[in-house]
């Protein structure tokens, strides 16, 4: 059951994918005293099991949860939205095939629109610039640029009711994030990170997301609660 609404608290829109990073981000927003308005984008991603993970997480840690359909498979251009193989040879340098064109720009724009509509001026996104697989929209420069855009592109922003984009995981390692989940008392097993799960939702264990997640738990000295497919 979602926590009771605290009407004295400010609201924040939290992008909730269903992954570990977004789960920790929601936990940190709640710890900071915000009501959590969780936004999940159903972009027809191949790893659709993460939508169920987002529902589970939101049921425990959000005051309101919106799943917004936006079919990015119409554009393609990514191993997550088109018939392109998910790389499984290990994390490599450069921007991988799982990069979805402008995804975080699109998602933060949706969070911005919802936030402006409901009076929430704080946006939380679980991007990470340390163990981030090379995505350009997970970098500090991107977050700063989007916050500047938000305050120039909205009625609220230009009238002085400014937006803040929070990226509390930006400079954390995956081990740091795993530790934060434990500190916050979150059940990391509810989250899903795999880009190419089995039909029953089990993680493949070999894609970049699985490798980074597993290494994070290992480096943190914590048990990995992920359910992996049998080899």
**pLDDT of amino acid 133:** 63
Per cent of the chain over pLDDT 70 is 93
- Beta strands in 125-230, from DSSP E residues, in sequence order: 164-166
The alpha-helical segments, DSSP class H, found in 63-139 are 103-118
- Give pLDDT tens digits for 61-112: 999 999 999 999 889 888 787 778 777 776 667 787 778 888 999 999 999 9
Tokens 């939101």, residue? 58
Mean pLDDT of 153-177: 97
d(CA 124, CA 68): 17
CB neighbourhood size of 156 (10 A): 19
**pLDDT of amino acid 73:** 87
Model-level pTM?
A: 0.91
Mean pLDDT of 181-189: 97
**pLDDT of amino acid 7:** 41
**pLDDT of amino acid 45:** 87
**pLDDT of amino acid 2:** 44
230 phi and psi angles, rounded to 5 deg: -70, 140
- Give pLDDT tens digits for 18-43: 999 999 999 999 999 999 999 999 98
| pLDDT top residue among 129 and 32 | 32
Mean pLDDT of 214-227: 96
Report whether pLDDT(59) > 50.
yes
Q: Which of 53-70 are b and which e, b meaning 16 or more Cβ less than 10 Å from the residue's Cβ?
A: bbbbbbeebbbbbeeeee
Instruction: Please tell me what DSSP assigns to residue 89.
Output: S
Tokens of 82: 């088109």
CB neighbourhood size of 71 (10 A): 10
Mean pLDDT of 211-221: 95
Which range (8-17, 72-81, 127-136, 218-227) has the least confidence?
127-136
């Amino acid at each position: 059951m979602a926590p009771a609404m605290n009407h004295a608290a400010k609201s924040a829109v939290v992008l909730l994918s269903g992954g570990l990073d977004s789960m920790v981000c929601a936990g940190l927003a709640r710890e900071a005293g915000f009501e959590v308005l969780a936004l999940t984008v159903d972009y027809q991603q191949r790893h659709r099991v993460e939508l169920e993970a987002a529902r589970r997480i939101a049921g425990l840690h959000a005051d309101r949860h919106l799943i917004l359909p936006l079919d990015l498979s119409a554009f393609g251009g990514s191993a997550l939205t088109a018939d392109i193989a998910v790389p499984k040879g290990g994390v490599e340098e450069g921007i991988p095939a799982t990069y979805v064109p402008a995804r975080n720009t699109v998602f933060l724009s949706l969070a911005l629109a919802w936030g402006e509509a409901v009076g929430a001026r704080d946006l939380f996104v679980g991007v990470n610039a340390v163990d981030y697989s090379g995505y350009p929209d997970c970098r500090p420069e991107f977050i700063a640029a989007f916050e500047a855009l938000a305050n120039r592109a909205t009625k609220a922003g230009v009238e002085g009711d400014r937006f803040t984009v929070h990226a509390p995981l930006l400079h954390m390692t995956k081990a740091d994030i795993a530790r934060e989940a434990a500190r916050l008392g979150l059940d990391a097993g509810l989250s899903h990170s795999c880009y190419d799960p089995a039909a029953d939702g089990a993680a493949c264990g070999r894609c970049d997301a699985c490798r980074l997640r597993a290494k994070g738990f290992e480096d943190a000295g914590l048990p990995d609660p992920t359910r992996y497919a049998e080899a």
